[in-house]
Amino acid sequence: MTSGDDTKRGAGAPAGRRRGLVIGLAVVTVVGAIAVGVALYARGGGPLPDWAGILRPPEAVLEPSSPAESVLRTLRLAGYERAAVGDADGSVVVRVETPGVGTTADIQMAWQTGMAAASAVYPDASTIVVQVFASAQPLVEVSASAEGVRAAVAADDASALRRLCTFRYLSELTGG
């Protein structure tokens, strides 16, 4: 019977050795990760060394946004999911679709947000135009000199912004 006991022990030995290897590799990995963390912490910050290149983020992620992308992000943060921005010959055009129009304040918020966002990121623009739509229906086009918009936005003066703007109601036939 001792030979049967030896057979059972021999069959279990490779499984125990495999488990020991797995535990050993896990311990080495954890200790190595801690060592790398301690080494980076001890350096005191700054750019990563060459040996830690795999930890660097891709450079493209950190590039600044274009002016149009900045306006679109601002509008998205304000709750406007659908918008378009274009610029040419010193003019910036922002088209904003409001999610719904319940009061005139909904339209005012859309064009004021478009004006403020465009004035902030297009410093060389001479004219800013904002067109507001509800679904596929054109509502209003608001235009003003960019310099005046920048001054009104800097002063946080909504009434001054309204006074310097020209309003044009858009029909479904012209569409803007």
Residues 162 and 94 in one domain: yes
Residues 77 and 57 in one domain: no
CA distance 134 to 125: 26
Residues 73 and 152 in one domain: yes
Structure tokens, 113: 């947000």
pLDDT at res. 138: 86
The CA-CA-CA angle for residues 57, 66, 174, to 5°, reads 140
Domain that holds residue 95: 67-169
The 3 state secondary structure assigned to 15-76 is HHHHHHHHHHHHHHHHHHHHHHHHHHHHHCCCCCCHHHHHHCCCHHHHCCCCHHHHHHHHHH
| Count of positions (residues) in the chain | 176
Is 82:99 a contact under the CB 8 Å cutoff? no
> How many other C-beta atoms can be found within 10 angstroms of the C-beta atom of residue 108?
16
* pTM of the predicted model as reported, rounded to 2 decimal places: 0.63
Find the mean pLDDT for residues 113-137: 92
CA distance 7 to 92: 84
Q: Which of 35, 61, 87 is the last residue of a domain?
A: 61
Is 168:140 a contact under the CB 8 Å cutoff? yes
Find the mean pLDDT for residues 116-143: 91
- pLDDT tens-digit series, residues 73-105: 999 999 999 999 999 999 999 999 998 888 888
- pLDDT tens-digit series, residues 33-50: 888 777 766 667 666 666
- pLDDT tens-digit series, residues 63-74: 778 899 999 999
Tell the burial category of 109 from Cβ atoms under 10 Å away from its Cβ (0-12, 13-18, 19+): middle
Query: If pLDDT is split at 50, 70 and 90, which confidence band does 19 have?
Result: confident
174 part of a folded domain: no
Number of folded domains in the chain?
2
